[in-house]
Each structure stands twice: as structure tokens, then as C-alpha cells.
Amino acid sequence: MSGRTPLAIFSAVIIAVAVSACAPGAPEPTASDTPTGGPSSASTSTPVPPTTAAPADDSIALPAACDDVFSASMRDRLIAAQLPLDDPTLTMPSTDLATGAQMLEGLPHLRCTWGVASEVGIATTIALVDAEQSKNLRDAYQAEGMACEVVAGDPQQTRCLAEERFEDEMPGAIGEIQIFQANAWLSTKWINVDMKGYADDMVARLWG
């Protein structure tokens, strides 16, 4: 693993997705929101207020294998970049937050890594959490300076991001992507990898 000083987590430019600063507004009107009868003067019935559908349950089961977490195209892309799946020499944790690393040990989880012991690689852990654990983790990441925002267009998902770039004799980048949705926590740490589409691929694969 790298001999550099451990990652100093701080707010970073949001990557891969456009992230909003607050939860999205009300949804667009549906057919049930739009009156279909004639003018009100021609009706003697009492108007029925539009119904609001209950939010969908986004809870997931813990994936059985890493192949269930990533699409075939993402797996092919990472392997083509010389990043093998689950090489035992890559022992990098999926987060540098002490509270998070400790919590992961006691949670149902699946660990997936890409790469070998080197200055390049990705470590991701998919864990199941309850609502209180999810909130505590998000608060802890924000307290460490990470940018945690609700994802635009997906009010059930929050991402906490950090990135640090080096311009010294060994230029490179290191960062974290922490995703919270429903009963799942997707924890990722990466070093010197193009992470474009990585987080979105996991979300699409797990929640479809």
C-alpha cells in the first residue's frame, strides 16, 4: 500500500452525478392529480382530493457475490485496466473514517476489490444498515468535512464524496465515495483510478 500520509478527507467537487443541495421538490402531477370531469358548476358531487402514493420500499438483500454488484460492462472495463477482482493482496479499507471502519466489522457486508497491492486500486464494501446507523454515518462523514448531498432526481439516495490530488514527485489522486440508500451503505475508497460511472453502475445494478 502507499506510504503517503492517510487521506485528509475534505469537501470535493461532486463527481459522476449532478448533486443537489437539498431534496428535490414535489413530483410532477400524475393522471390522478388532474380533474377529468366537466365544469364544476355541472357537478354536484364532492371533489375527491388526489391521492399520494406511498414511497416505494428500496430495501435490498445483501448481494451474494461481487458479480451481483457490478454490470458486465463495468467488470470488463476494470479488468481491461489491469484491475483484477478480489485479488487477496489488495487489503486497502473501503473507508478511512474510523467510526465507519469499526462499524463495518459488525454489519452484514460483502467486500469487493479491484486491483493488487500497489498505488492503484478500488475497495468497496456493501453493507446493510438501519435508519439510525445510516444517519449516524452520514453525520460522521459530514463532521469530517465530506460533501454529503441528496442526489438530484433520487431523493432516497445520499452521497458523501471526498477527493485529494497530489502534484508532487508522484502525482495522483485518492478519494472516497460513500452512498446511503434505503437499508444499504456502499462504501468505496479509491486510488489513482478513473471512477467515472462506478457509483452509478452499482446503484443501477442493486436498485435497477
Each residue's pLDDT tens digit, 62-85: 999 999 999 999 999 999 999 999
**pLDDT in the model for residue 57:** 80
Segment holding 79, helix H or strand E: helix 72-80
**CB burial class (10 A; 0-12, 13-18, 19+) of residue 198?**
buried
**pLDDT in the model for residue 66:** 98
Cβ count near 152 (within 10 Å):
16
Q: Which residues pair with 159 in a beta bridge?
A: 149, 179
129 near 107, Cβ under 8 Å?
A: yes
Domain borders along the chain are 62-207
Residues 6+ apart with CB under 8 A from 120: 83, 191, 192, 193
Q: How far is CA 192 from CA 2, 42, 60, 116, in A?
A: 11, 68, 30, 13
Whole-number Å distance between alpha carbons of 105 and 98: 11
**pLDDT in the model for residue 167:** 86
Residue 91, C-alpha cell as written in the block: 487489503
3-state helix, strand, coil in the chain (%, to 5): 25, 25, 50
**pLDDT in the model for residue 56:** 54
pLDDT one digit per residue (tens) for the chain, 208 residues: 444 433 333 333 333 333 333 334 434 433 334 333 433 333 333 444 443 344 458 999 999 999 999 999 999 999 999 999 999 999 999 999 999 999 999 999 999 999 999 999 999 999 999 999 999 999 999 999 999 999 999 999 999 999 999 887 777 999 999 999 999 999 999 999 999 999 999 999 999 8
> Has domain 62-207 been given CATH number 2.60.120?
no
Whole-number Å distance between alpha carbons of 107 and 84: 25
Q: Which of 89, 67, 88 is nearest to 78 (CA)?
A: 67
Exposure string for 156-181, b = 16+ CB within 10 A, e = fewer: ebbbbbbbbeeeeeeebebbbbbbbb
